[in-house]
Amino acid sequence: MFGLFGSGKVRQGGSGANVKADGSSVDLVLYKYDSCPFCRRVYRTIDQLGVNVEYRDIRSDFTHRQALLAKTGRATVPCLYIDGEPMFESADIMRWLEGQFQR
């Protein structure tokens, strides 16, 4: 059951558009794969905060892995693109999300 670990649902598609606490909008795209425990930690934060994220699974779609590698020189997940700028490290990603979206 590839892609169904941890979260209970496949993480793909959807809009990455969000309005931040300051009223500005931001587009969020998470490069991930679902058996990655660091990705699953980030999913929990996303769910808790109710953030809209477009998911790109680098194992189910090789073009996503190629795109991540081409832009960043790495194929490590999770990687959150914030308006197109990559952020690695699950702890940094969760901290950033909480800083922007925690009410």
Ligand X SMILES: N[C@@H](CCC(=O)N[C@@H](CS)C(=O)NCC(=O)O)C(=O)O
Long-range pairs, 54-57, Cβ under 8 A, ≥24: 54/13, 54/14, 54/15, 54/16, 54/27, 54/28, 54/29, 54/30, 55/11, 55/12, 55/13, 55/14, 55/29, 55/30, 56/12, 56/29, 56/30, 56/31, 56/32, 57/3, 57/11, 57/12, 57/32, 57/33
Among the listed residues 29, 77, 80, 94, the single contact to ligand X using CB under 6 A:
77
The minimum distance between CB 4 and ligand X, in angstroms, equals 16
Instruction: By CB under 6 A, tell whether 72 contacts ligand X.
Output: no
Nearer to ligand X, 17 or 47 (CB): 47
Q: Which residue from 33, 41, 21 is spatially nearest to 93, judged by alpha carbons?
A: 41
Among the listed residues 3, 26, 76, 82, the single contact to ligand X using CB under 6 A:
76
Q: Which of residues 7-36 bind ligand X (CB under 6 A)?
A: 36
Nearer to ligand X, 38 or 96 (CB): 38
Among the listed residues 75, 83, 98, 99, the single contact to ligand X using CB under 6 A:
75
Q: Which stretch binds ligand X (CB under 6 A): 3-11, 12-20, 47-55, 83-91?
A: 83-91
Residue numbers at the binding site for ligand X (CB under 6 A): 36-38, 75-78, 89-91
